[in-house]
Amino acid sequence: MTGGASARTSFARRVSTMLYSRPRTRLGLLLSAPLAWLVLIYVASLAALLVTALWTVDDYTGAIKMEWTFDNIVHVVTGSLYQTVTLRTVGVALLVTVVDLIIALPIAFFMAKVASSRIQRLMVIAVLMPLWASYLVKAYAWRSVLSHDGILAWLLRPLGLDTPGYSLTGVVLTMGYIWLPYVILPLYAGLERVPNSLLEAASDLGAKSFTTFRTVVLPMLTPAIIAGSIFSFSLTLGDYITVNIVGGASQMLGNLVYTNVGTANNLPMAAAIALIPIVIMFGYIAAVRKTGALENL
């Protein structure tokens, strides 16, 4: 027994000693499992998606035929339905991002530069809390808020207005709501990094508040703004659940992908449509990579 145990110990010890002197082997052992997972499952799937977009579906059996064709891609690029929906989706994603930035800037500024440290701490928690609340719960909450018997209609009726109901406006409001904490937090962190002394120096040199904001704060804040916009933009771009819940009959790219996977059972077509958000996001990430915003995620 003791002999066996010590033999095992010495074997483990020998492995350990061998590994200690071979950092490359150590690195290989550490990396092999996670890299295998990410490459074999994720990268291979993305590559397979590209390939599938070049296949087609048998009209009668619905089975996938591995015949190479650019038909799907051509169809997606030239089809007026896809162009309209792409423009609509990008438009909604941009609008949500801009609305969120406009709402997030004042509150982030207040948190970082005006509030006392106690209020500041409470506000960080208050903003963080809904970030943890379920995405579906938030979308569902807006389904009640926007409904024709809902609180928004009730609030607006005395003013002679009505709720936008389940529509594209509803989608923008709901998405803007859902991603707002994701935009406030990076902006707040970015503003925290702007030293107060810089702001004081600007005002000592005679700059008005707005000038200081435009020429000192904004340039320093750009990476944080981009980091925040990546969330709201990317997350809106691929969304179809919120559109189903509060969008009424409106469709975005995600809905087209979803119907092609489900009811239409045309995976190659769905793959071709999914390439649109991939291309847009890669373009966006490539464009902002140089600004150093990705380190702020």
CA distance 108 to 191: 7
Binding another protein by CB under 8 A: which of 7, 11, 31, 81?
A: 31
Query: By C-alpha distance, which of 91, 62, 66, 68 is closest to 260?
Result: 62
Q: Which is nearer to another protein, 77 or 288 (CB)?
A: 288
Interacting residue with another protein among 140, 165, 189, 222 (CB under 8 A): 140
H-type alpha helices, the chain: 2-20, 23-36, 44-52, 71-78, 80-109, 117-132, 135-146, 151-156, 168-192, 196-204, 209-212, 218-237, 241-246, 253-261, 267-289
- Nearer to another protein among residue 166 and residue 168 (C-beta): 166
Paired with 64 in beta bridges are 57
Distances (CA, A) of 149 to 156, 162, 208, 244: 11, 11, 47, 19
- For residue 65, the cross-strand partners are 56
Provide the mask over 238-267, with x wherever binding to another protein is found by CB under 8 A and - wherever it is not: xxxx---x-------xx--xx--x-----x
Return the number of the residue (20 or 70) whose C-beta is nearest another protein. 20
Q: Which of residues 152-171 bind another protein (CB under 8 A)?
A: 153-154
| By the rule CB under 8 A, 129 interacts with another protein | yes
By CB under 8 A, residue 220 contacts another protein = no
Question: How many residues make up the chain in this entry?
Answer: 297
Does 52 bind another protein (CB under 8 A)? Our answer is yes
Q: Could you tell me the smallest distance in angstroms from the CB atom of residue 154 to another protein?
A: 5
Q: Which stretch binds another protein (CB under 8 A): 68-76, 77-85, 164-172, 206-214?
A: 206-214
Residues 86-105 that bind another protein (CB under 8 A): 103
